[in-house]
Chains A and B, each alone.
Chain A
Amino acid sequence: MGAYCISTDPQRCIACHACEVHCKAKNNVPQGASLGKIVILGPKLVNGVPRMSALFLPCFHCEDAWCIGACPTEAIRRRAKDGIVYIVADLCAGCKACITACPWNIPQWNPQTGKAIKCDLCMDRIDEGLEPACVAACTTNALRFGKPGELSQETREAYGQAVLSKGFAG
Chain B
Amino acid sequence: MKKVVYTLCFMCSIRCPIKVVVEDDEIVSIEGNPYVGAMKGGVCPKGAAATGLLNDTERLQAPMIRTGPRGSGQWKRVSWDEALDYTAEKCKEIFSKYGSKSAVWCERTNFITDLSKTFTKAIGTPNYFTHDALCKGSVNTACRSLFGYTDAQISVDYGNTKHIVLYGRNIFEAIEVKAVNNLLDAMGKGAKLTYVDPRVTITAAKSTRYLMIRPGTDLALNYALMNVIIKERLFDAEYVDRWVDGFEKLRTFVDRYTPEWAEEETGIPANEIVALAQELGEAKPSVIFHYGYRGANHPNEIYFRRSLLILNALMGSIEAKGGIFFKKGPKDAGHKAGLRNYSSQKFPKMEDTRRFDGCGQDKYPIADPAHGVGGMFPLAVLNEDPYPIKVLFAFRFDPLYSIPDLNQNLKALEKLDLIVSIDINWGGITWMSDVVLPESTFLERSDPIKMFPGLKPAPYRRVQCVTPRYDTKPGWWIVKALAERLGAGEYFPYESIEDIWNYQLADLGLKPEDFEAKGFVELSDKPIWWDRKDGLKFKPPSGKIEFVSSLMEEHGFPSFPPYEKLETPESTFRLMVGRCAAHTHVATQNNPYLNELVSENVLWINNKKAEALGIKNNEMVEVSSKVGKGTLRAFVTDLIHPEAVFILHGFGHQEAGCTRSYKRGVADTLLQEHIMDTIGGSPALDHTLVSVKKA
Interface on A for B, CB 8 Å cutoff? Answer: 11-12, 14-18, 20-22, 24-26, 31-32, 42-45, 49-52, 133, 136-141
Contacts and interface: CB of A to CB of B under 8 A. Distances in A.
Contact of A50 (B50, B51, B200): B200
Contacts of A21: 45, 48-49, 593-594, 597
23 contacts: A11-B187, A11-B188, A14-B180, A14-B206, A16-B172, A16-B173, A17-B582, A21-B45, A21-B49, A25-B50, A32-B596, A42-B205, A43-B200, A43-B202, A50-B205, A133-B29, A136-B29, A136-B31, A136-B41, A137-B29, A137-B30, A137-B42, A141-B42
B684 interface: no
A18 B42 contact: yes
Interface in B161-212: 172-173, 175, 177, 180-181, 184, 187-188, 200-202, 204-207, 210
Interface of B: 29-32, 40-45, 47-52, 172-173, 175, 177, 180-181, 184, 187-188, 200-202, 204-207, 210, 581-582, 592-594, 596-597, 638-639
Contacts of A31: 592, 596
A165 B597 CA distance: 41
A39 B596 CA distance: 16
Contact of A43 (B51, B184, B205): B205
Contact of B44 (A18, A24, A42, A43): A18
Contacts of B30: 25, 137
Contact of A25 (B52, B181, B639): B52
A25 B46 CA distance: 11
Given A14-B172, A15-B202, 16 more contacts: A14-B581, A15-B172, A17-B45, A21-B48, A25-B48, A31-B592, A43-B200, A50-B205, A50-B210, A51-B205, A137-B43, A139-B42, A139-B181, A140-B42, A140-B180, A140-B181
B328 to A, nearest CB: 27
Given A25-B52, A50-B200, A140 B43 contact: no
A25 B51 contact: yes
A139 B180 contact: yes
Given A11-B188, A137-B30, A141-B41, A45 B200 contact: yes
A135 B603 CA distance: 33
A16 B593 CA distance: 13
B181 A141 contact: yes
Contacts of A25: 30, 48-52, 593
A141 B180 CA distance: 11
A138 B42 contact: yes
B65 to A, nearest CB: 33
Contacts of A16: 44-45, 172-173, 175, 581-582
A49 B210 contact: yes
Most buried by A among B48, B181, B582: B48
A14 to B, nearest CB: 4
A30 to B, nearest CB: 9
B43 A52 contact: no
B32 A43 contact: no
Given A43-B202, A43-B204, A51-B205, A137 B177 contact: no
A42 B204 CA distance: 11
Contacts of A138: 41-42
Given A42-B205, A52-B205, A141-B42, A18 B210 contact: no
Contacts of A141: 40-42, 181
B593 A137 contact: no
A139 B184 CA distance: 11
Given A45-B638, A140-B184, A141-B40, A18 B204 contact: no
Nearest to B27: A25
Contacts of B51: 25
Contacts of B177: 139
A18 B45 contact: yes
B636 to A, nearest CB: 14
Most chain A CB atoms below 10 A, which of B51, B52, B592, B596: B596
A101 B32 CA distance: 38
Pick from B30, B40, B205 the residue with the most CB of A within 10 Å: B205
Contacts of B204: 43, 50
Nearest to B591: A21
B32 to A, nearest CB: 7
Contact of B41 (A24, A42, A49, A137): A137
Nearest to B18: A137
Given A31-B596, A137-B29, A18 B180 contact: no
Contact of B173 (A14, A20, A26, A140): A14
A15 B181 CA distance: 14
A91 to B, nearest CB: 26
Contacts of A140: 40, 42, 180-181, 184
A22 B206 CA distance: 24
Contacts of A136: 29, 31, 41
A42 B638 CA distance: 12
B317 to A, nearest CB: 22
Nearest to A33: B596
Contact of B597 (A17, A44, A51): A17
Contacts of B582: 16-17
Contacts of A44: 639
Contacts of A49: 210
Contact of B32 (A11, A26, A137): A137
A111 B100 CA distance: 55
Contacts of A20: 45, 597
B194 to A, nearest CB: 12
A44 B640 CA distance: 11
A126 B250 CA distance: 61
A50 to B, nearest CB: 4
Given A25-B51, A137-B42, A43 B188 contact: no
A139 B44 contact: yes
Contacts of B173: 14, 16
Given A52-B206, A136-B31, A141-B181, A15 B581 contact: yes
Nearest to A29: B593
B48 A137 contact: yes
Contacts of B202: 14-15, 43, 52
B497 to A, nearest CB: 27
The 4 tightest CB contacts between A and B, nearest first, are A43-B205, A21-B48, A16-B581, A52-B205
A139 B200 contact: no
A26 B31 CA distance: 12
A16 B30 CA distance: 16
Contacts of A24: 593
A24 to B, nearest CB: 6
Contacts of A15: 172, 202, 581
A141 B50 CA distance: 20
A86 B202 CA distance: 35
Contact of A139 (B43, B49, B205): B43
A127 B200 CA distance: 43
Nearest to A14: B172
Contacts of B592: 31
Nearest to B49: A21
